[in-house]
Amino acid sequence: MIHLYAFVRGLRQVEPGLEARPLESLEVVTGAEQTDPLQHGLVVERLLDQADAVLPVRFGERFRTEDDLAAAIAPRLEALEHQLDHVAGCVEVGVRIVPRREAAHADDGAAYMRARLREQLSTDELHRALAAKARDSVQTNRDVGYLVPRADIGAFSVAVERLLESHPALDVLCTGPWAPYSFAAAA
């Protein structure tokens, strides 16, 4: 079985146990059968330092032969190339904003709704401010993944820190930098 890790561009080195094969304008990083999702994730994160652009593949994509792999990729090649262009030079920073549950202590229904609205408004405001500093953003429930150019990570962290200080009623959990999983859509 061939295990698929990621699509990349500008791969500078290939770690032992992995294979990189060129396909049109991108490279496909594969390895022997992999049964551990954590290892899959770690390989992908390491690729982030070894290539100019990394498009992570969801764990569990495996192919019997190289021909099967090539055949599965061929119809998606153009979409994959567009996605690689989009994430080139970027990492993903995850930001989760958790309101301090002021609403939970509301005296009545109206007060509860007002508190929830205030929470939502400050959360939205925060995300808008961060989105302005990122190339792209994708929201999944409370988590927003920001696509941040490598060179801007410092500035982005400072922005998160400032917002955290200016919004004492919100808790902000920042994770990453990750490989841009949230920007690697089903092709």
Q: How far is the CB of 54 from another protein (least distance, A)?
A: 10
Contact residue for another protein among 13, 25, 139, 140 (CB under 8 A): 140
Rounded-to-integer distance, Cα 177 and Cα 144, Å: 13
Interaction of residue 186 with another protein, rule CB under 8 A: yes
56 binds another protein (CB under 8 A): yes
b (16+ CB within 10 A) / e for 53-83:
bbbbbebeeebeeeeebeeebeeebeebbeb
Q: How far apart are CA 161 and CA 153, in angstroms?
A: 12
Query: Token digits for 76?
Result: 């998606």
Q: Do 160 and 177 contact (CB within 8 A), yes or no?
A: no
**Listed ranges 13-21, 61-69, 111-119, 124-132: which one lies at the site for another protein (CB under 8 A):** 61-69
Site residues, another protein (CB under 8 A): 4, 7, 33, 35-38, 40-41, 44, 55-63, 72-73, 76, 80, 83, 94, 98, 140, 143, 161, 164-165, 171-173, 175, 178-179, 181-182, 184-187
